[in-house]
């Protein structure tokens, strides 16, 4: 399946990477690697994750307390957000199309 990203996902990733790099240099790059690994898992098995209270499918990153949220439309996976460390997931509802 093809993968598309909501506009806000890039900012989610960059802000989270910067926050982690402030704590330990290089940790942001590790988050980025984990993020794209999670996208690959979702791409391989998109129906393996059930929808939750947000209406999107969450996929937890392996190493970090972070969750990637996505939805499936026809034959496209749309990544809607990356939330690290308990950020408010209700903001997903305000997100537009990629």
Which of 85, 58, 53, 69 lies closest to 9, judged by CA? Answer: 69
List Cβ neighbours of 14 (8 Å cut-off, separation of 6 or more). Answer: none
Which of 88, 51, 89 lies closest to 70, judged by CA? Answer: 51
Sheet bearing 2-5, strands edge to edge: 2-5, 76-84, 66-73, 57-60
Q: What is the pTM of this model?
A: 0.84
In angstroms, rounded to a whole number, what is the distance separating the alpha carbons of residues 88 and 4?
Answer: 22
**37: pLDDT confidence band, cut at 50, 70 and 90?**
very high
Tell which wins on pLDDT, 76 or 89. 76
């Amino acid at each position: 399946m093809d993968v598309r990203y909501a506009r806000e996902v890039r900012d989610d990733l960059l802000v989270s990477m910067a926050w982690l790099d402030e704590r330990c240099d290089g940790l942001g790059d590790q988050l980025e690697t984990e993020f794209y690994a999670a996208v690959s898992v979702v791409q391989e098995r998109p129906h393996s994750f059930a929808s939750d209270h947000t209406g999107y499918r969450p996929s937890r990153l392996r190493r970090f307390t972070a969750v990637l949220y996505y939805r499936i439309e026809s034959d496209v996976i749309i990544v809607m957000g990356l939330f690290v460390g308990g950020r408010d997931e209700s903001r997903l509802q305000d997100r537009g199309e990629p």
